[in-house]
């Protein structure tokens, strides 16, 4: 087998990049499942459409959101919380698709967190200019389970900071199919997304979809 052929094989295999203790970036991990993920996403959107939620301070978020799984993350004037029902319809959130759950569990194991059992998947839709300010994921009952975050569509700059808001974040360019897993000592790091640059993805058009899996209860 030639060196060129070895290089071709390596090019299609996901790579594992250590971001910090307890945090890894799995390049291209979700790409082999992109068709299943996008089809499932369309079904979820039909049942629980994306919407721009309002923060407790009354600001409309630039990122549109929906959820699937036993619990969904919501924000409104009453605060941040998990709820089993969509507040707009009072109906349960769509069930988490098997393709979603399987990939999240596999990614968590690759990140060093075997046995991950997510009960919530927050789905964020970024359109050009949308951003997510630095924040911690801390509305869960405990922090022993990791966060698993999948990127689909347009590339984005992921901001991965420290345990204090003032800590300068590192910048990671996330492409379609990339998955970030963080937990343990980095479970409560501040993180966010820089304003999304305009572009057009071959499968998803002018948007980025982010699937964030959590064990909320």
Yes or no: say if 95 and 67 are a contact pair by the CB < 8 Å rule. Answer: no
Residue 158 counted as an annotated binding residue = no
User: Can you give the pLDDT of all 217 residues of the chain as single tens digits?
Assistant: 333 333 333 344 569 999 999 999 999 999 999 999 999 999 999 999 999 999 999 999 999 999 999 999 999 999 999 999 999 999 999 999 999 999 999 999 999 999 999 999 999 999 999 999 999 999 999 899 999 999 999 999 999 999 999 999 999 999 999 999 999 999 999 999 999 999 999 999 999 999 999 999 9
Residue 176 counted as an annotated binding residue = no
25 within a domain of the structure (yes/no): yes
| Three-state secondary structure call for residue 186 | helix
4 within a domain of the structure (yes/no): no
- The CATH code of the domain that includes 93 is 2.60.120.590
Residue 196 counted as an annotated binding residue = no
Residue 67 counted as an annotated binding residue = no
9 within a domain of the structure (yes/no): no
Residue 188 counted as an annotated binding residue = no
Sign, CA torsion 78/80/86/88: positive
Domain that holds residue 179: 15-214
23 within a domain of the structure (yes/no): yes
Alpha helix ranges (H) inside 62-122: 98-110
Q: How many domains does the chain have?
A: 1
């Amino acid at each position: 087998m030639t060196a060129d052929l070895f290089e071709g094989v390596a090019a299609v295999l996901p790579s594992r990049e250590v971001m910090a203790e307890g945090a890894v970036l799995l390049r291209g991990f979700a790409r082999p499942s992109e068709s299943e993920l996008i089809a499932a996403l369309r079904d979820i959107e039909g049942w629980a459409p994306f919407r721009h939620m309002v923060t407790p301070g009354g600001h409309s978020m630039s990122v549109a959101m929906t959820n699937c799984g036993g619990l969904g993350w919501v924000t409104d004037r009453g605060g941040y919380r998990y709820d089993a029902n969509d507040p707009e319809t009072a109906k349960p959130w769509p069930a988490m698709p098997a393709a979603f759950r399987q990939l999240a569990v596999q990614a968590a194991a690759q990140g060093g967190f075997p046995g991950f059992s997510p009960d919530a998947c927050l789905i964020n839709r970024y359109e050009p200019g949308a951003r997510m300010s630095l924040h911690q994921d801390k509305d869960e009952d405990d922090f022993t389970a990791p966060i698993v975050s999948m990127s689909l569509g347009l590339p984005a700059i992921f901001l991965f900071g420290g345990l204090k808001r003032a800590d300068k974040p590192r910048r990671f360019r996330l492409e379609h199919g990339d998955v970030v897993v963080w937990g343990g000592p980095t479970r409560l790091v501040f993180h966010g997304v820089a304003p999304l640059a305009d572009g057009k993805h071959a499968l998803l058009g002018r948007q980025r979809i982010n699937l964030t899996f959590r064990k909320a209860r």
